[in-house]
Amino acid sequence: MSMPDPQTRLLFTDLLGLSHGKTVPSTRAQHPTHYALTVMLQGLDREFIELKGYSTDVGFPDMEARLDEASLRPSWSGGEVAMTNLHFSDGRPLPLCVRSRLREMIERWRARDLEPLCGIEMEFYLLSGQCVADGPLSVPWHRVYGTGPGADPSGLIDEIAAACERAGIGMEGINSEFNPGQVETAVSYREALDAADAAFLFRELAREVALGKGLGATFMARPFNDSVGNGMHLNVSAAAPDGSNAFVDTDDAQGISQVCRWAIAGLLEHHAALTALFAPTVNSYKRLRPGMLAGYWATWGLDNRLTSVRVPGQRGQGTRIEHRTPDGSASPHLALLGMLAAALDGIERELPLADPVFGDAEAHPGTDVHTASSLGQALDLLEQDSVLTEALGPDLTTVFVKLKRDEVDRWEQSLTDWEVNTYGRVY
Ligand code: GLU
Ligand code: MG
């Protein structure tokens, strides 16, 4: 019996961080004509939105999804999987390609002799059916930092770990998190673009492996009223040309360099404006509140999980900045783009950094600056921040904001269970 021809999944990310693409025979993976309509970039689960320059007014032109060979890896589901970059069919880069925008931001760091490195921690819930409405997986022996059948009687966690191994995702570890059914994993430290790709692929992989067992997995920011939310913490440092960690200064009392301080100051300066990229759904604001360890206040601290920008305790090569505000519904590419843009602004402007906050930084943040309170407000703040809008570029800013304002409008017009249950009894 002859073996079936190997297949390659060529993927791209839309503005929501969802995957699209084509599966092609591996022999054709390099072929330039893997077209899709540009309008798909909005995200296919969304209602159609008219976008000037990208939809009906230009006749839905083709775009090309071009293989990035460096991203080619074995797929968890057999064959291979790779990321693509998006171009108009005349070869011009597509301004809505979030992966390309992130690459350009990385080039700006490289121009300053800094190679941004990143590790991404991802939280998610295993579900007892295929949808969030089915509830979290029932875990009779639940404990935080659990492993094995006690943490997950379905065996799904171990299958996800094995699938990561097959695909070379480079997962650092996996364990149960605070609430039953919640899981945490970390995509290991590496060059920033590869880290965003790995986080994006990990979400696909986890959902698909769960589906294979008739179960589900959700990275939604706050899927359950009575359980904590799902964070997606971004850990960032930068390598100097000699490979040393540019965020380290062994002569400094806190062990961190001036570049690291400027970067933190940039993150705090843009804290509120970053909200839309870190918390991009109306649901995100059910997580992003004080007291949720979710990175609400514009604070930084030394190994303090109650601050938004945490410098974990490791020193030497492990010295890094952890941003705790992004949630599991954020696009890893857009969130990392925002973080790198804000940090770079701090470095370029040599922004001064206030002292870290110690102790209960949620109760006593020492600042009244915090993330936006709603997606609508977050979009206003994003639009007003020229550093972030320049990093996104005008087309991506316009389309992202339009897409998300449409989401806010539909949410505001939608009746919720809470309203029916609360008002329905008394009025
Ligand atoms: N679940 C928390 C969040 O929503 C993070 C908890 C932690 O790992 O520190 O971000
Ligand atoms: Mg966690």
pLDDT tens digits, one per residue of 189-229: 999 999 999 999 999 999 999 999 999 999 999 999 999 99
Least confident of 84-88, 261-265, 303-307: 84-88
Q: Given its phi and psi angles, is residue 79 left (phi above 0), alpha (psi -120 to 50 degrees) or beta? A: left
Confidence (pLDDT) at 69: 93
| Ion ligand 2 — residues with CB < 5 Å | 184
Measured CA to CA, the distance from residue 58 to residue 54 in angstroms comes to: 6
With a 6 Å cutoff on the Cβ, whether 328 touches ligand 1 is no
Residue pLDDT, tens place only, 65-123: 899 999 999 999 899 999 999 998 888 999 999 999 999 999 999 999 999 999 999 99
CB-count exposure of residue 328 (10 Å: 0-12, 13-18, 19+)? buried
Contact status, residue 24 vs residue 34, Cβ threshold 8 Å: yes
Residue pLDDT, tens place only, 150-179: 889 999 999 999 999 999 999 999 999 999
With a 6 Å cutoff on the Cβ, whether 231 touches ligand 1 is yes
Give the model's confidence band at 236: pLDDT under 50 very low, under 70 low, under 90 confident, else very high: very high
Confidence (pLDDT) at 2: 59
Going from the Cα of 228 to the center of ligand 2, the distance in angstroms, rounded, reads: 10
Contacts of 158 (CB under 8 A, 6+ apart): 148, 152
For residue 347, which of 259, 274, 273 has the smallest C-alpha distance? 259
The whole model's pTM is what? 0.96
Confidence (pLDDT) at 37: 67
Contact status, residue 154 vs residue 126, Cβ threshold 8 Å: yes
Q: Using the atom order of ligand 1, give the atom closest to the CA of residue 182.
A: 1
Nearest CA to ligand 1 atom 6: 293
Contacts of 251 (CB under 8 A, 6+ apart): none
Give the model's confidence band at 5: pLDDT under 50 very low, under 70 low, under 90 confident, else very high: confident
Residue pLDDT, tens place only, 27-42: 888 876 666 666 666 6
Pair type for strands 321-323 and 182-191: unpaired
Going from the Cα of 184 to the center of ligand 2, the distance in angstroms, rounded, reads: 6
Nearest CA to ligand 1 atom 7: 293
Q: Using the atom order of ligand 1, give the atom closest to the CA of residue 177.
A: 8
Q: Decide if pLDDT at 376 tops 90.
A: yes
Terminal CA-CA length for the chain: 71
From the CA of 228, which ligand is nearest? Answer: 1
Q: Using the atom order of ligand 1, give the atom closest to the CA of residue 295.
A: 10
Nearest CA to ligand 1 atom 10: 231
With a 6 Å cutoff on the Cβ, whether 287 touches ligand 1 is yes
With a 6 Å cutoff on the Cβ, whether 265 touches ligand 1 is no
DSSP states of 256-325: B-HHHHHHHHHHHHTTTTTHHHHS-SGGGGGTSSTTSSS--BS-EEES-TTSSEEE-S--GGG--EEE--
Nearest CA to ligand 1 atom 2: 231
Confidence (pLDDT) at 52: 78
